[in-house]
Amino acid sequence: MAPTGRVYGLLLLGLGTAVFSQVTLQQSHALPIMLAWDGAVLLLMLLDSWRVKPSQIAIQRSALERLSIGRGNPVELKLVNQSGKVALLQVQDEFPQAFSALPQQLELKLPANASQTLSYQVLPSQRGDYNFGAIRLRQLGVWGLAWRSWSVPQAQAAAVYPDLVGLKALSIRLALQNTGSLKRAQRLGMGTEFAELREYSIGDDSRLIDWKATSRRSRLLLRVLEPEREQTLILLLDSGRLMTAQVQGLARFDWGMNAVLALALAGLNRGDRVGVGLFDRLLHTWIPPERGQDQLSKIIDRLTPLQPSLQEPDYLGAVTAITQQQARRALVVLITDVIDKTASAELLSAMTRLTPRYLPFCVALRDPQIERQAQGAQPGSSQFGLSQSGLAEAGYQQAVALDLLSQRQIALETLKQKGVLILDASADQLSDQLVERYLQIKRRSQL
């Protein structure tokens, strides 16, 4: 039970009455009058709270689907008012401490003999298994003097997965592209794999005319080509020390895992064989390349429980293991972080070792905070009003950030000169940019 502001107002009124009585009546009457008034107010408050019947309010949390890391996941609560009176309620769900929620408390006015569904969002920042607890409710008494509080046991397990919401949106986008852009690509004769013969139309590329078929059928026939299918896509995700750092609320490893799943979905959607490997000192997880949507489910189930370690990654070991597993030509995408040419020497050696037999593709996660520091912007602060020591510290941080970005750019340019494809993307844009770059590689038949 908790008193409302109305109770405090009535108690202050009692105090005012006592003061007035002290002035107009005998002083000895003031205290009994105030105590009698306050006692009546408190008694009414207790009665108001007692009249609330918790059993007349039913609440149920909806079944929790697989939650996505770094996304707002809706949680629904259904309330039923089984009484004949309007209920003013406050509801607070006991979500896991590792989550943030918006809003944390829900308020509603529930009509008599009615039901209503409330919704709030939880934002998980780590993958894993979690438990929701009881749901706490507060109902205002009819006289508005007290809140009656109680809890409803609603223990429920929930699993946090990589960004499945983003995968669903990407799947829809790829499906739309399949019905439009791929047909356009066929019509323009792009690709390397023969699809069909059709009659030549004005504006078609004359280089695609099939002269043998034309001579046999006595009319101009054109070869329609489409991007080659059933190619191989190998995804390597660094799970070592550098990937444990936090970027925009998530570990680099989680951003990388989201990108791996997005690219795997795109590759399977385009008919490629997709394989995935995770490594630190060893290639500890390997999923051989396969085709079909069942492969995506297998990848999600295998990767979801994994976490990064504090070990240094062995790039050469991982690449060597992959080349032993994968004999045919493949697009090998390695997602990691690049610091500078010296610190990334092993990475440079490993990626250049893949050429020319494979098509190597190095993906680096960029940290927006370092870029802001390089631009002289301090998050949440201003340089105005800083002391001399503060200005010197800000200048030092900017110089360090500029040097890190410069060294990073040199390392990436060195990789590019060795024939390695490069993508340097911000963590929150990594998945979209990586998928777009892969589709570009397919359109250009670079593999």
Same domain, residue pair 62 and 127: yes
pLDDT value at position 195? 59
| CB-count burial class (<10 Å; 0-12, 13-18, 19+) for 298 | middle
Token pair recorded at residue 50: 């007692």
Same domain, residue pair 111 and 259: no
Across the range 376-383, mean pLDDT stands at: 52
pLDDT value at position 207? 74
Q: Which of 50, 69, 90 finishes a domain? A: 50
Whether 373 is in a domain gets the answer yes
Peptide bond into 153 cis (omega under 30): no
Whether 167 is in a domain gets the answer no
Single-letter residue type at 281 = R
Q: Long-range pairs for 95-102 at CB < 8 Å and ≥24 separation?
A: 95/122, 95/132, 96/122, 96/124, 96/130, 96/131, 96/132, 96/158, 98/124, 98/125, 98/126, 98/130, 99/123, 99/124, 99/125, 99/130, 100/125, 102/72
Q: What does the mean pLDDT of the chain come to?
A: 84
Pick the residue with more confidence: 155 or 338? 155
Please say whether the beta carbons of 131 and 148 come within 8 A: no
Query: What does the chain come to in residues?
Result: 447
- pLDDT score of 49 more than 90: no
Same domain, residue pair 284 and 326: yes
Rounded CA gap, 229 and 226, in Å? 9
Single-letter residue type at 399 = A
Sorted by sequence, the CB contacts under 8 Å of residue 16 that are 6+ apart come out as none
Whether 114 is in a domain gets the answer yes
Across the range 352-380, mean pLDDT stands at: 77
Rounded CA gap, 326 and 421, in Å? 19
Residue 70 gets the label, from left (phi > 0), alpha (psi -120 to 50) or beta, of left
Q: What is the DSSP letter of 185?
A: H
Same domain, residue pair 188 and 330: no
Whether 81 is in a domain gets the answer yes
As for how many domains the chain has, the answer is: 4
Same domain, residue pair 349 and 369: yes
Whether 369 is in a domain gets the answer yes
What is the domain range of residue 242?
232-443
Q: Which of 226, 247, 269 finishes a domain? A: 226
Same domain, residue pair 189 and 311: no
pLDDT value at position 385? 52
Whether 255 is in a domain gets the answer yes
Same domain, residue pair 256 and 154: no
Across the range 340-358, mean pLDDT stands at: 82
Same domain, residue pair 131 and 269: no
pLDDT in tens, 288-308: 999 988 999 999 999 999 999
Token pair recorded at residue 80: 């039923």
Same domain, residue pair 276 and 188: no
Q: Long-range pairs for 382-389 at CB < 8 Å and ≥24 separation?
A: none
- pLDDT score of 32 more than 90: no
pLDDT value at position 23? 58
Q: Which of 114, 137, 161 finishes a domain? A: 161
Whether 166 is in a domain gets the answer no
Same domain, residue pair 214 and 334: no
Q: Which helix (H) or strand (E) is 32 found in, with range?
A: helix 27-50
Coil vs helix vs strand at 278 = strand
pLDDT in tens, 223-278: 776 555 678 999 999 999 989 988 888 999 999 999 999 999 999 998 899 999 99
Please say whether the beta carbons of 347 and 336 come within 8 A: yes
pLDDT value at position 192? 54
Question: What sign does the dihedral 385-391-397-400 (CA atoms) show?
Answer: positive
- Please name the residue ranges forming H helices in 368-424: 368-374, 388-417
pTM of the complete model: 0.77
Same domain, residue pair 278 and 318: yes
Token pair recorded at residue 255: 């951003």
- pLDDT score of 189 more than 50: no
Q: For position 83, which CATH number holds? A: 2.60.40.10
End-to-end CA distance of the chain: 70
Whether 307 is in a domain gets the answer yes
pLDDT value at position 341? 67
Same domain, residue pair 342 and 294: yes
Rounded CA gap, 233 and 116, in Å? 49
Q: Which helix (H) or strand (E) is 192 found in, with range?
A: none
Rounded CA gap, 231 and 111, in Å? 61
- pLDDT score of 348 more than 90: no
